[in-house]
Structure 1
Amino acid sequence: MAKRKSNEETPASSNRRRKPERKRHGLGTLVLLWPFFLLQRLTAGLPLPVRWGLRAIGHPIVLGLYAAIPMVLFYYARARNYDMAKVSEMPERSIVLDRHGEEIGRIHGEKRDIIGYSDISLDFIYAIVAREDERFFTHHGVDWIGFGRAMLRNLKDRGMTQGASTLTMQLARNSYPLYASWLDFSSPLQELDRKFLELAVSYRIEANYSKEEILQHYVNRIFWGHTIRGIEEASRTYFEKSAKDLDLSEAAMLAGIVRGPNAFSPFRDLSDAIRERNTTLDRMVIAKFITPEEAEAAKAEEIPIRPEWRRVFHDSWAMDSVRRELERVLEEEHIEFGGLQITTTIDLAIQNKAEEALNRHLRTFERRAGYPHETRAAWQEKPEPRPNPAYLQGSLVVIENMTGAIVATIGGRDADESKFNRATQAKRQIGSTFKPFVYAAAFEDGLRPDAMISDDRLARGEVRGAKNWSPHNSDGSFLGYQPVEVGLIRSRNTMSVRVGDYAGMDHVAEIANAVGFEQPMQMSPVSFLGTLEASPEEVASAYTVFPNGGRRWPPRLISEIRRHDGTLVYPDPDQERIISYQPLMGDAASTTARILGKVMDRGTGAAVKRLGFTSPCGGKTGTTDDYKDAWFTGFTSSLTCSVWVGFDQPKTIFDRAYGSTMALPVWVDVMKTAERLGYKATGLSSTEPFTEARVCRTSGKRATQGCEVAGTAYTESLPADQLPAEGDFCHEHDDVLAESLDKVLKAKVVDPSEAELEAAPKARPVEGEAVPKALPVEEEKIPRAVPVD
């Protein structure tokens, strides 16, 4: 008992020896709050004031980290949605080239040219870094030193007076739309959210691109005022040189005006631009990119700014036509984004010569004494804003026969003064220029070019649908019966109407539609004389069937389109394209071409030779009523060119303003230039085999003896399928032959058996002695032949 009692302890003694138990935290609490616990442990042994001071600073920092981590994850996740390839993709203008690779101009997209890092002046690289982001080559997208300095300055100034954007951050902002759709656009939270997202995207850009690539994309993307984008376009616009040729002074100026390109533009105020240049040079010295001596030397240099008279960029008719053609062959998104290389069929040398020739020739008429209209020079002297030009206009189109390629297109005298493209948009009556298609239709129906046809006045009811209408000829005369070809060579109206009536109105209309005239032909005999309205491009394209043996290639202006990386955009290799077709029979086309060649020798186009173009060619003039429109359309074996002269609002140019006077000389200048450039005229002979046959001029059929007697037979040399068939003989002169035979049969024949011949004297016998005898001659007296040496 005693022993057991001695081992027992009282509650009081037990409580004295027990140590207090430490409070235990759960595992989740430790994981979540370990930074606080770590701070507590690290500061536990420090003196009380120090310990509590560090904890007062440290706990808010840890709380800030707790808030920052979810934000970092949130913005990192949002930044992951942006395609980094978009940094290098930016709208740029499409470059337009002629068929030889010469630049014609640039269109669509933004006014920029994308270049590589190696094509940028090193002086400019240092200038833009010194001005915009001095620690660019050492930070990783965000300059935290600069960021902190800007925040302190903004707090001091109580406003957002200092920015902290690096070049990478600016590139992120310029490359992507960083605004949140769920926040109000004008809300301060929107700007704060955008800034955080910009930081996240900047880190992604730095991870995907080298510093050189970031600089390249940045300077290609930024704005330099006056719609200019990118360093190359800025350098060419302001200094007329490439970005790789910028010197230190020029580079510093371009870097200096970036922050206010419109405000500091040297075109607006050169003194402001010079001030920004000098500031940039000072920053380059601080950044140790240049020495103070180099900076002072650059400040002393004059700035060679593009002179004011060269700051206006002129439009051209070729570019206008390319814009219209692009809308036809490409979808809008391809066009507007730009960045395409468009190779056209234009020959820039011929294009420029055509524009110069048209202007020069029309100016000579405007300078004549008594010219009755406003001249272009007088219109140009009017104060701005000037009305739409009302002076004498002209247009022309040159097409390559065997391809349909448009070699030159001029829509007026100046593309800056008028945007109305007369080469493609103007529809004017084409007058006698239409007559070759009337004759070609008749030749398809078997009419011979040497067949005789009347040039006299039309008799009432003679021509279907004409009633009592009868046209006059331009010279007021009527020539009676003439070979058909004379009607085209000398542009005889009455003969042409009869030829059209022979072919039939439906057939002529069908030919007109087939060769490319868009407007339906008026179903009236007057249409045979050219009341159809068409553009110069339509007329030129239609005329190519004559030197092509009846084939036509639809006109085209663009040969190919490629993206910046060389990918072919047009033509689509999987899409079938119409190459050519045959709207006119080959023999009819060749016959018409031969007659149009004679037009240039002794017809309305004879002035071509006098003006110095002596190569084989064919063509036709055209003049509408009251001399409102003057045309000349002609071709060689290589090219066809159509020229129109007139006013936008139709009115008489002046008396006797014929196509041979107003339009033909322009054609000669253009075609002489083309020939010098290698577009040779090798002759217009048909490839069809020719056969000779005797043909009747009146009927156009094989000649008979009656035709020979009547004097209407002649020998024709034509392709075999164009001659009348072997058994297709003329019967119009059978009565002539019968009459001739009748006269022969009625002639008296002498027959010795007839009675009346008894009266003829008879031979009487001579009796014996009365008959003379032959006398013998002695041998010696016979004359001998004397030999001659």
Structure 2
Amino acid sequence: MGVLRAAVRNVLAGHVVQGASTLTMQLVRLITEQRKTSMKRKITEAVLAIQIERMFTKQEILERYANLVYLGHGLYGIQAAANTYFGKDAAELTLSESAMLAGLVQNPYRYSPIRNIELARKRRNHVLKRMLSEGYITDEVYAKTIAEPVQTVQTKEAGKNQVGAYFLEEVRKYLYQRYRMDQVLDSGLNVYTTLDLDLQKGAEEAVQTGLKHLDKREGFRIEDKRFVKPEEINDYWSPTWNHNIQEGITVDGLIVNVTPDKATVRIGKTDVTIGNYEVVWTEAKHISDILKKGDVVEFKIHKWDPEKNQYNISLDQEPQVQGALLAINHHTGEVEAMVGGYSFSDSEFNRAWNSQAIRQTGSVFKPLLYASALDSGFTLADTFFDEPTIFLDPGLFYVDEHRKIRQFELTPELRQKIKDKELDEPAPYEPDNYHHLYDGLITLRTALEKSKNIVSVKLFNRVGQRKVRRFARACGVTTNISPFLSSALGATSITVKEACKAYGTFANGGVRTEPYFIRKVADHYGKTLEENKPLTIQAVSKSTAYLIVSGMQGVINEGTGVRARALNWNLCGKTGTTDNYTDAWFVGSDPDLTVGVWTGFDKTKTLGDEETGAKAALPIWIDFMKAYIKGRPERDWVMPQDVNRVPIDKRTGLLANPPAGCLPGDIILETFLKGTEPLEKCSTKIHDLLKLPYYQQHGKVIFDELTGLPLPKIEFLIPHPRQEAHR
């Protein structure tokens, strides 16, 4: 009746006014996985709850709830939690252990004994106190049980390293949505997934190692230290010591003594002495500057041999920065590896797959822009002028006779929209290259390899935002792309999955394949309930796909992704870095697999100075690809029949003309759609001109009277047919 009464009150009020979250209602919520609060949801839950209570006894409802409830670290149900936290069956749990699991229901993350033993103890004691007040236990039992320590067999490291946790969670959610709950839990479904276990292990190791390195470059977080009072040091025991300490894991270490250059660290029952070398990454002058007696901090175990009395440890810390890796076979769409964050036990949000995990792409978007240009008739040998440039909307701005930028009088309608904050105040757009470096005349290939912002914006202006947006959508980018010029530099946010779909389309000869992670589901008798096959569409021409792959191969061989060249493998890809180094990307492919890596914080903030895609994301990608290519035969992309290669001068984009016009080292085999090859040969005169600074390659130079620097070029936005208004 409580459920029904709450539903009636909500209907009469027109909105949710009463929760009525009985155990049955919570079971309904677990089954339906609905989280959004709404009147419609409450009514639906109430009806389902009434039906469940008519069909099952309270004991059966409680049993079902106990099998479904989430208890942290990817664990669903009391049995899974009992086995993971305590190494036993649910029937063997003590009162203390049972109370601790019951306390986890409200907030599994906050009260996890792996994450915070003290909060877990307080929460367990709260549950025991409620049991005492309700008459379920006596004063004597209560006093005895709260005196027991909270001990687990699970460690922080082990909780983090449940292989494929993010992937398996996606599988679980899909099955619960696709099938009845009793089918999933009780009928013995056989689920065949696309996960490659070896690649998944390699992916998790690459992400965790890469994020730790990235985190450590920003220094040691003194504020993360825990502290043990002097009188409690001898009795302190960390739950991370409740298992055999072995090489490769991270455990708590208690500082029991400190001098300027040495510290004694207690791990379990063993004291280990460390020096400055073991904390070198903190850049502290003395150990005593960062560690004090009674501190509890993390240490990585490199060697642990009590029999030989040999120990090697180093100061460590749990990264706050997050990351994601997604590996998709772009021929079939099968997801072979998925890492949604540093640790599923710490954060279940899947940054690799969740549609809400959208981030600004930076230059990772540029291959979509350049590919749309190639699809429109441009070639990789076409040249643009790389120089400081101001872009103006001709409907809003003009340049007077003194070369001063002036704004037209705004219409009353525009003024009102600006006042109502529907539009921003009009302003010239003045992008910049990384480190303010400009090369003058360069080809589109070089601009892509060096990730030149000015050339990319000029290209976006010429191709037109409508064409670029339509092309990106064909490649699998479903999030809305802004029509503004800043989209050329990746101001638009997309997901890792979308980035992998787009790059996979290029690597797969223009064929876009929808990713999936379940191959087949069969019932207990072997009858197939569903079977997924590749879902493909020819989204881009084979020639355009091959041309942009060729351009991105240059990024690996000559450009911002050159660190991956050491893999000595047939690769293409692109780095991406957003403003203020808040997001760092690398997305790349070989002929069979496309892999996307993103790093950043959930709440936008800088990764650190100079933390570019090449520095923060590419090393993770490289480490994963090392695991991928091991023992695998190398393949090449198949060149379409309407594409050929022609020797050109890479600086001018003109036909090679040695020795009169270009040096042997400047000759490359450029890829062209047949019929678009250059006709003019390069010359010594052109090369001599390119030796000059960018501002002298034009001829006449105009300098700013105040700064003494060359004045930027002014370029007006080009109106394209049927192009949507960009203001």
Per the shorter chain, which TM-score range?
Answer: 0.5 to 0.7
Counterpart residue number, 2:328: 399
Equivalent AA in structure 1 for residue 153 of structure 2 = W
- Please list, as runs of the form range in 1=range in 2, the aligned pairs for 1:472-483 lying within 5 A after superposition: 472-483=432-443
Change in 2 beyond 3 A, CA 1:313/1:655: closer
The one-letter code matched in structure 2 to 1:641 is V
Deviations 1:92-115 (A, max 9, x none): xxxxxxxxxxxxxxx999xxxxxx
Q: 2:583 aligns with which of 606, 624, 629?
A: 629
- Tell which has more relative contact order, 1 or 2 (C-alpha 8 A, sep 6+): 2
1:347 to 196, 205, 230: 196
Aligned position for 2:675: 723
Matched, 1:489 2:449: yes
The answer to which structure has the higher strand fraction is: 2
State the SS of the aligned residue for 2:507.
Answer: coil
Name the CA distance, whole Å, in 2 between partners of 1:377 and 1:515.
49
SS at match of 1:599: helix
Change (3 A) 1:698 1:729: farther
Letter in 1 for 2:555: V
The answer on whether the counterparts of 2:441 and 2:652 sit within 8 Å (CA) in structure 1 is no
Give the alignment partner of residue 337 of structure 2, picking from 400, 408, 411: 408
Identity, % of aligned positions: 27
The offset of 1:417, in angstroms, is 1.1
User: Shift of the alpha carbon at 1:309?
Assistant: 1.0
**Aligned: 1:536 with 2:465:** no
- Distance across 1 between alignment mates of 2:76 and 2:648: 74
Deviation at 1:581, TM superposition (A): 0.8
Does residue 452 of structure 2 align to residue 499 of structure 1? Answer: no
- How is 1:161-200 mapped onto 2 (pairs within 5 angstroms)? none
1:424 and 1:469 map into 2 onto residues whose CA distance is 34
8 Å CA contact 1:590, 1:686 repeated in 2: yes
2:606 pairs with 1:652: yes
Does the C-alpha gap of structure 1 residues 265 and 624 become closer, same or farther in structure 2, counting only changes over 3 Å?
Answer: closer
Once the 2 structures are TM-superposed, how far is the Cα of residue 681 of structure 1 from its aligned partner?
3.5
Deviations 1:740-780 (CA, angstroms, capped at 9, x unpaired): xxxxxxxxxxxxxxxxxxxxxxxxxxxxxxxxxxxxxxxxx
1:309 is aligned to 2:261: no
Please say if 1:667 is aligned against 2:621: yes
CA distance in 1, matches of 2:336, 2:348: 20
CA contact (8 A) 1:497 1:529 kept: yes
- 1:380/1:563 CA distance change after superposition, 3 Å: same
Q: 1:688 to 1:240 in 2, by over 3 A?
A: farther
Q: Go from structure 1 to structure 2 and tell me whether the alpha carbon gap of 1:519 and 1:380 turns closer, same or farther (over 3 Å shift).
A: farther
Match of 2:486 in 1: 526
- The equivalent residue for 1:424 is 353
Against the structure 1 CA distance between its residues 412 and 239, is the aligned structure 2 distance closer, same or farther, given a 3 Å change threshold?
closer
SS at match of 1:545: helix
SS state at 1:326 partner: helix
Number of aligned residue pairs? 445
Greater Cα offset, 348-357 or 310-319: 310-319
Question: Kindly tell me: are residues 347 and 377 of structure 1, through their superposed partners in 2, closer, same or farther at Cα, counting changes over 3 Å?
Answer: farther
Structure 1 match to 2:62: none
Mapped partners of 2:225, 2:478: distance in 1: 32
Alpha-carbon deviations, 1:585-608, whole Å to 9, x = none? 211111111111111111000111
Task: Please identify the structure whose Cα radius of gyration is greater.
Answer: 1
Find the aligned partners of 2:222 and 2:601 in 1 and give their Cα distance: 10
Residue in structure 2 matched with residue 688 of structure 1 by the alignment: 641
Task: Give the corresponding residue for 2:375.
Answer: 444
Aligned partners of 2:486, 2:543: CA distance in 1, in Å? 26
Partners of 1:529 and 1:661 in 2: CA distance:
19
Tell me the distance in 2 between the aligned counterparts of 1:694 and 1:656: 36
Pairwise CA distance, 1:324: 3.3
In structure 2, the CA distance between the partners of 1:416 and 1:590, relative to structure 1 (3 Å rule), is same
Amino acid at match of 1:623: T
User: Structure 1: which 5+ residue stretches go unaligned?
Assistant: 1-106, 110-179, 187-222, 242-253, 269-306, 384-388, 731-789
1:487 deviates by 1.0
Please identify which structure carries the higher helix content.
Answer: 1
1:583 equivalent to 2:539? Answer yes
The answer to whether the Cα contact below 8 Å between 1:390 and 1:647 also exists between their aligned partners in 2 is no
Q: Report matched runs for 1:132-143 at 5 Å.
A: none
Mapped partners of 1:464, 1:635: distance in 2? 42
Contact 1:465 1:525 in 2 (8 A): no
Please give the per-residue CA displacement for 1:197-225, whole angstroms capped at 9, x wherever unaligned. xxxxxxxxxxxxxxxxxxxxxxxxxx9xx
Rounded to whole Å, the distance in 2 between the matches of 1:234 and 1:368 is: 36
- Which one-letter code corresponds to 1:626 in the other structure? N
Structure 1 residue 404 displacement after superposition: 1.2
Cα distance in 1 between the residues matched to 2:221 and 2:454: 32
Give SS of 1:404's match: coil
Check 1:652–1:519 CA distance in 2 against 1; reply closer, same or farther (3 A cut): same
Question: Shift of the alpha carbon at 1:691?
Answer: 3.9
Question: Residue 283 of structure 2 aligns with which residue?
Answer: none
- Name the counterpart of 1:616: 570
- The 3-state SS of whatever aligns with 1:549 is coil
Please give the alpha-carbon distance, in whole angstroms, between the structure 1 residues aligned to 2:214 and 2:391.
Answer: 42
Q: Give the deviation of 1:684 after TM superposition.
A: 3.4
The code of the aligned residue for 2:639 comes to: S
Q: Look up the SS of the partner of 2:372 in the other structure.
A: helix
Mapped contact 1:692–1:718 kept (Cα < 8 A): yes
Structure 2 CA distance for partners of 1:539 and 1:266, relative to 1, 3 Å: closer
Query: Which residue of structure 2 aligns with residue 435 of structure 1?
Result: 366
Q: Does 1:453 align with 2:364?
A: no
> Residues of 2 paired with 1:233 and 1:478: CA distance?
59
Give 1:54-69 correspondences, 5 Å limit.
none
Distance of 2:170 and 2:626 partners within structure 1: 24
Q: How does 1:259-408 map to 2 (within 5 A)?
A: 308-310=152-154, 316-327=165-176, 329-330=178-179, 334-337=183-186, 339-368=188-217, 370=219, 391-408=320-337
- CA spacing shift, 1:440–1:565, aligned 2, 3 Å: same
Whole-angstrom distance in 1 between the partners of 2:622 and 2:514: 24
- Deviations, residues 57-102 of structure 1 (Å, cap 9, x unaligned): xxxxxxxxxxxxxxxxxxxxxxxxxxxxxxxxxxxxxxxxxxxxxx
Cα separation, 1, equivalents of 2:586 and 2:319: 22
Change (3 A) 1:181 1:445: closer
Give the CA deviation at 1:366.
3.0
* 5+ long unaligned stretches in structure 2: 1-29, 33-52, 59-66, 100-150, 228-249, 253-294, 297-317, 398-426, 662-666, 681-727
Give the aligned residue type for 1:407: E
Q: CA deviation at 1:470?
A: 2.1
Cα 1:415–1:634, aligned 2, differ >3 Å: closer, same or farther? same
Q: How does 1:96-245 map to 2 (within 5 A)?
A: none
Distance 2:171 2:461 in 1: 41
CA 1:661–1:267: 2 relative to 1, 3 Å: same
- Normalising to structure 1: TM-score of the pair? 0.49
Per-residue deviation at 1:416? 0.9
Shift of 1:447: 0.3
SS at match of 2:585: strand
Pairwise mapping of residues 548-559 of structure 1 onto structure 2 (< 5 A)?
Answer: 548-559=508-519
**2:435 partner SS:** coil
Question: Contact 1:375–1:392 at 8 Å: present in 2 too?
Answer: no
Which of 533, 551, 563 is the equivalent residue of 1:607?
563
CA contact (8 A) 1:108 1:337 kept: no
